[in-house]
Amino acid sequence: MWAMTSAAAAARARAILECRGLRRSFGDLVAVDDVSFEVTGGETYGLLGPNGAGKTTTISMVCGLLEADAGEVWVAGQRLTTRAVEAKAAIGYVPQEIALYPDLSARENLAFFARLYGLGRADTRQRIGDVLGLVGLADRADDPAKEYSGGMKRRLNIALGLLHRPRLLVLDEPTVGVDPQSRNAILESVERLGAEGIAVLYTTHYMEEAERLCDRIGIVDHGRLRAEGTRRELVSLVGERDRVLLAGTGDLHAAGEAAAPVRGVLNVSEVDGALELLVGDARSRLPELLATVGAAGLAVTSVEVQEANLESVFLHLTGRALRD
Amino acid sequence: MRAALAITRNDLHRRLRDRSALLVALVLPLALAGIFSLTLGDVTDDEVMFEYALVDADGGAVAQAFRRALGEIDAIHLTPDADAAAATFVVPRGFSAAVEAGRPAHLDVVGDPDAPIGTLVGEAVAAGFAEEVRAVAASVLAAHGRGDPAALARRAAEVPSPLALEDVSAAQKELDARTFYAAGMAVFFLFFTVQLGISSLFEERRDGTLARLLAAPVPHWAILTGKIVTSLVIGIVSMTVLALATSLLLGAEWGNPVGVGILILAGVCAATAVTALVATLARTQEQVASWQAIVALVLGMLGGSFFPVGQAGGLVATLSLATPHAWFLRGLGDLAAGGGVGAALPAAAVILAIAALTGLVAVVRIGRLVQP
């Protein structure tokens, strides 16, 4: 018989979501392979990976839509399976595709799901008002959803996930196909939720969203969790090396030889008539670098600094770009 | 159960707004029943009346007996206007004398080429009378040694009407045209109407709301129950409204209300079970829509929703007994024959057996409908 150790029990008590060794196959394709992570209250955890990496399959198991072949999901201290009715009450699910009744208004859509989640009449009224306000749809609450723009539908999609005050909100690529204005509104809503103490699991293939929203990020590729941690921790995996591109006129070769010994410079190469340097903490080293190459005879006409980011981390970990 | 009822309530709320649902559930069956009753009702209605003229050049006792016999047939009306008649019976001079003497006699029927059915009926009436008179004449001759005109006329008048075939018990169990088409169309479209419940799971899967339902704290059985109850409620309401509407608007006579209610309940259960079974075999919304339409159409045609195939006899009549439609119409026929509630029970039992059989298979397979 399985017994939980006191340490594990304490960890589980802190974590709103705990996934351990999740695995799921479809025929010969292993969509999710030994994925483990946890999300605590008030934390926004991002699953970052390209399309087909296994993010949606992972979320489907987290929300009880798919049974895992192996591994466990615990939500708010309860084991979650496809038939775990009580555990599901702690989850707010925002699927990747817009999932609402187009012939019903926003208010009617919300009222229906409020009944399914067992909200009382007064509570339902209040929560509908709250979430409509949160996503900015209060003035269109009684219009049929089919008359909404794509961005408005997306926002209603999120409101449906938030309605019953979930302890864990799961958002699966909520900004796909959304205009910049609605996208920003969605991101602001998610930022507020984290501040309210809700645990948020957020999947995306947009690096900028993961960097902006997530306290911790798990990098997923080919069904496996390649690395996880804060942005700083992940970037440190590639040594926080920035890429500096110097273009100009003059002796490139001599400038390169002069720049190589500068402190922080890790590598120098000539690329398409410019100097490419890998530099640790490029912003602080830039004045010294410019002075050195100038003294070596290079009249610099443009400077480009690319700081290490999750894109470079993903490239480092998987050997391919995030959007491949 | 709270969740199941919430799902049913939501579905009904949405269907009430859906004009195409109202069209299939009420407007189409009502319109088709009305059209069929108006166009085909005169041909099949028990109360059909043919106009005939009678030219009596004989004036004898047998000719007078023939006139009286015609007067006793409900479906025949004698008119003095030969031009308005479907056919004219001509009794030639010497007809009675020839019959009395046991000689060959002729009774002519002059038909209107534009009224072939009326002419055929007239021929049948005349042939039937001639047969009976010949039998009576032979009987009288056997009894008295020669024809007694008075006895012959009396006996001829007493013989059953040649159209007595209309009075056999089977005919009394048939529905009149208005009721037949009202009930036929109602049960035919019932198999489309109930699809709005269980098959809407495919619509929910397409719209993504099924995944949302599955992620909610709702047991799978509650989702399925909600959908099945939706089918049952829509089916019962549409059938009840159609029964009332066709009674008021078309003059259909459905029979004992309790018996009709039992048949409707059984029919709705069968339609829901058959529809659910078909849904469990399909993979996509397109598949389920086309397969269910084919099944509804085949069962409707075979079951006699459009014409009474049971009277055709043979293999088709036998196969029709496998359909809920045939038993539904038969149950209504039994009620129309004057039976009380009990008259509907045998047919209802068979319909429920079909429902149980198909429903059992559907239940075994139904879990696959609640997968994201």
* Tens of pLDDT, residues A95-108: 988 999 999 999 99
Question: By mean pLDDT, which of A274-283, B65-74, B136-145 is the weakest?
Answer: B136-145
Kindly state whether residues A36 and A127 are assigned to the same domain.
yes
Task: Say yes or no to pLDDT of B157 above 70.
Answer: no
How would residue B131 be classed by pLDDT, with cut points 50, 70 and 90?
confident
Task: Say yes or no to pLDDT of A241 above 70.
Answer: yes
End-to-end CA separation in angstroms for chain A: 45
Range B18-32 average pLDDT: 82
* Integer Cα distance of B333 and B171 in angstroms: 10
Task: Say yes or no to pLDDT of B42 above 70.
Answer: no
* Integer Cα distance of A93 and B216 in angstroms: 8
All CATH 3.40.1710 domain ranges in chain B, comma separated: 48-167
Residue A291's domain comprises 241-307
User: What is the predicted pLDDT for the residue at A7?
Assistant: 52
* Beta-carbon separation of B18 and A91 below 8 A: no
Question: By mean pLDDT, which of A3-17, A73-87, A189-203 is the weakest?
Answer: A3-17
Mean pLDDT of chain A: 87
Kindly state whether residues A198 and A72 are assigned to the same domain.
yes
State which of A218, A235, A252 marks the end of a domain. Answer: A235
Question: By mean pLDDT, which of A165-174, A226-235, B20-29 is the weakest?
Answer: B20-29
Pairs of CB atoms within 8 A across A/B = 71
DSSP 8-state symbol, B6: H
- Give the model confidence (pLDDT) of A42-97 as tens digits: 899 999 888 888 999 999 999 999 999 999 999 999 999 998 989 999 999 999 88
Which residues, in sequence order, are bridge partners of residue A46? A202, A217
User: B17 contacts in A (CB within 8 Å)?
Assistant: 103
* Beta-carbon separation of A89 and B217 below 8 A: yes
Task: Say yes or no to pLDDT of B244 above 80.
Answer: yes
Question: By mean pLDDT, which of A28-42, A96-110, B104-118, B173-187 is the weakest?
Answer: B104-118
- The CATH number that applies at residue A121 is 3.40.50.300
Share of chain A above pLDDT 90, in %: 47
User: A174 contacts in B (CB within 8 Å)?
Assistant: none
Let me know if residue A317 belongs to a domain.
no
- The CATH number that applies at residue A275 is 3.30.70.100
User: B217 contacts in A (CB within 8 Å)?
Assistant: 85-86, 88-89, 116-118
Closest CA to A231 of A176, A175, A283, A308: A308
Let me know if residue A269 belongs to a domain.
yes
Contact between A35 and A220 under an 8 Å Cβ cutoff? The reply is: yes
Closest CA to B278 of B267, B294, B263, B262: B294
For A88, which of B6, B216, B372 is closest by C-beta distance?
Answer: B216
Kindly state whether residues A212 and A279 are assigned to the same domain.
no
CA dihedral B367, A170, A196, A123 (to 10 degrees): -30
State which of A204, A235, A266 marks the end of a domain. Answer: A235
Share of chain A above pLDDT 70, in %: 94
Hey, of B7, B204, B209, which one would you mutate to test binding to chain A, going by the most A CBs within 10 A of its CB? B209
User: What is the predicted pLDDT for the residue at A1?
Assistant: 32
Kindly state whether residues A130 and A257 are assigned to the same domain.
no
Let me know if residue A290 belongs to a domain.
yes
User: A63 contacts in B (CB within 8 Å)?
Assistant: 215
* Integer Cα distance of A154 and B340 in angstroms: 59
Numbered residues of chain B with Cβ closer than 8 Å to any chain A Cβ: 2-3, 6-7, 9-10, 13-14, 17-18, 207-209, 211-220, 372
Kindly state whether residues A189 and A277 are assigned to the same domain.
no
Counting the structural domains of chain A, the total is 2
User: B2 contacts in A (CB within 8 Å)?
Assistant: 115, 118
- At CA B91, angle to CA B87 and CA B96, rounded to 5? 150
User: What is the predicted pLDDT for the residue at B136?
Assistant: 61
User: A118 contacts in B (CB within 8 Å)?
Assistant: 2, 217
Q: How far is the CA of A185 from the CAs of A151, A162, A175, A180, in angstroms? A: 9, 15, 10, 9
Continuous segment of H or E residues that includes residue A83 = none
User: What is the predicted pLDDT for the residue at B359?
Assistant: 94
Higher pLDDT, A250 or B154: A250
Range A214-225 average pLDDT: 92
DSSP 8-state symbol, B176: P
Kindly state whether residues A135 and A38 are assigned to the same domain.
yes
Kindly state whether residues A160 and A269 are assigned to the same domain.
no
Let me know if residue A321 belongs to a domain.
no
* Integer Cα distance of A144 and A162 in angstroms: 20
Question: By mean pLDDT, which of A4-13, A208-217, B258-267 is the weakest?
Answer: A4-13
Range B135-153 average pLDDT: 58
Range A226-240 average pLDDT: 83
User: What is the predicted pLDDT for the residue at B308?
Assistant: 76
Share of chain B above pLDDT 90, in %: 34
The pTM score is 0.72
Range B223-233 average pLDDT: 95
Kindly state whether residues A46 and A126 are assigned to the same domain.
yes
Hey, of B15, B20, B203, B212, which one would you mutate to test binding to chain A, going by the most A CBs within 10 A of its CB? B212
How far B214 CA sits from the closest chain A CA (Å)? Answer: 6
Fold of the domain built from segment(s) B48-167? abc type-2 transporter like fold (3.40.1710)
Kindly state whether residues A86 and A176 are assigned to the same domain.
yes
Hey, of A66, A116, A165, A170, which one would you mutate to test binding to chain B, going by the most B CBs within 10 A of its CB? A116
Kindly state whether residues A139 and A153 are assigned to the same domain.
yes
* Integer Cα distance of A88 and B220 in angstroms: 13
